[in-house]
């Protein structure tokens, strides 16, 4: 058919098997209704969208998925899971894709999303909460856009929305313990 790309589905790929094992979700159950994407508050910056992620898994488009930033943008609000008529928890699919991507050291086309995610998690691990000023400055320096949004800093400092000093929550040891347990769990399976 002229003008139409026909993709031949591949046999079940290694990525799909890992995603199904780690997430406990069956990719084949998705019938592409698109309700997940329609409800996702950040679908407009995702490429592929949640529905397209499910289709890419069905078709075995591994490289396209691992190069995408979608799983690093998802913030686990669970709207997609709540709306899916096939009861697929897409949040868990996104989580599994992150895990595989991290373990294979895949670099998404838009590196900044993964960078922000990693810095966010490392802030939580270190302080038990987000140290906004430190996170913003480190993100800007490592992302090589040192002055991005810098014009917002004076106003936020004046309103007490940013602090120069990081504030730790009590019991950071317990939070580190959670992170250590997650690391140990991740080592159990190596996609």
Q: Which two tokens stand for residue 20?
A: 């199904």
Q: Supply the minimum distance, in Å, between the C-beta of residue 30 and ligand SF4.
A: 3
Q: Which two tokens stand for residue 80?
A: 């997609």
Q: Which two tokens stand for residue 91?
A: 């949040």
Q: List the one residue from 7, 28, 45, 77 that touches ligand SF4 (CB under 6 A).
A: 77
Angle at 163 between CA 168 and CA 145, to 5 degrees: 105
Q: List the one residue from 12, 47, 66, 86 that touches ligand SF4 (CB under 6 A).
A: 86
x/- track of binding to ligand SF4 for residues 35-74 (CB under 6 A): xx--xx-x-------xx--x-------------------x
Q: Supply the minimum distance, in Å, between the C-beta of residue 133 and ligand SF4.
A: 26
Nearest CA to 27 out of 60, 70, 71 is that of 60
Nearer to ligand SF4, 27 or 128 (CB): 27
Nearer to ligand SF4, 71 or 175 (CB): 71
Nearest CA to 19 out of 51, 52, 66, 80 is that of 66
């Amino acid at each position: 058919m002229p003008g139409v790309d026909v993709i031949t589905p591949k046999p079940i790929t290694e990525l799909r098997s890992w995603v199904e094992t780690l997430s406990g979700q069956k990719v084949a159950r998705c019938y592409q209704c698109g309700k997940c994407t329609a409800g996702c508050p950040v679908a407009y910056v995702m490429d592929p969208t949640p529905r397209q992620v499910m289709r890419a898994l069905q078709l075995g488009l591994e490289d396209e998925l691992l190069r995408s930033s979608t799983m690093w943008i998802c913030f686990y609000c669970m709207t997609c899971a709540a709306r899916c008529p096939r009861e697929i928890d897409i949040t868990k699919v996104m989580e599994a894709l992150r895990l595989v991507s991290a373990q294979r050291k895949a670099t998404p086309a838009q590196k900044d999303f993964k960078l922000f995610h990693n810095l966010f998690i490392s802030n939580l691990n270190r302080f038990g909460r987000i140290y906004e000023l430190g996170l913003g400055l480190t993100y800007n320096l490592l992302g090589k856009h040192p002055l991005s949004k810098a014009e917002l800093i004076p106003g936020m400092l004046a309103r007490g929305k940013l602090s120069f000093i990081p504030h730790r929550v009590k019991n950071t040891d317990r939070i580190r313990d959670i992170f250590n347990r997650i690391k140990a769990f991740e080592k159990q399976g190596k996609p």
